[in-house]
Amino acid sequence: MKFAVIVFPGSNCDRDMYHAAKEIIKEDTDLVWYENSNLEDYDAILLPGGFSYGDYLRSGSVAATSKIMKQIKEHAAKGKPVLGICNGFQILLEAGLLPGAMLRNKNLAFMCHQEPLKVVNNKTIFTSQYEKDAVISYPIAHGEGNYFCDDETLKELQENNQIVFTYEDNPNGSVADIAGIINKEGNVLGMMPHPERAVEELLGSDDGVKLFQSIVNNWRESHVVNA
């Protein structure tokens, strides 16, 4: 399987993402500069955290209009996996690949610590290696991680089982404790906590390994079926 880690000006978690896919999961992985637009050879797209374009205007809003997003949308439309973490999640929201928006944390402060999460939906290509309702630990590191959507959108997310991760103590004020959501088709996941920073016990948790393993295992199973 081949991963592309998209690097925007201001990305600062791209090496963490690269390490998780290349060194921990042992899959072919490239860092792809945002001005490059040929993503045809990649099986999965990873949008890392950071402060793309300095978070000017709104977090992720400038990156969402960059040239490479056309390729990412085409990739998603083909049913291929797209994972956006932290700023990557914000970019997916701004680009319209996921519903809702991000507000400032309820305490108006940047938050950086380990956070317990619940795996609400383990029937996705990103979470199939987890047990349903498993409580796992990922770090968070954001100032605008307060997920918001209107009541109608929240109802749709709940009815379609699109809420994948929830916070156990909701540190940022997100609607319905939401920490991560998926699109209706099930191949685009956005989340604020950082699984790529939870891939070794040395980092405080290795709970993130199963997320990357889920992507790879589901890709392999689909290719065996289609072979």
Instruction: Write out the catalytic residue numbers.
Output: 86, 194, 196
141: nearest Cα among 50, 203, 205, 211: 50
**Token pair belonging to 17:** 């993402």
- For the chain, the distance separating the N- and C-terminal CA atoms, rounded to the nearest angstrom, is 15
Instruction: Spell out the residues 6+ positions from residue 129 whose beta carbon is closer than 8 angstroms to its own.
Output: 210, 211, 213, 214, 217
Amino acid at 199: V
Using CA atoms, how far apart are residues 94 and 110, in angstroms rounded to an integer? Answer: 20
147: nearest Cα among 161, 130, 165: 165
Judge whether 149 and 100 are in contact, CB under 8 Å.
yes
Task: Say how far residue 37 (Cα) sits from the centre of its chain.
Answer: 20
Amino acid at 79: G
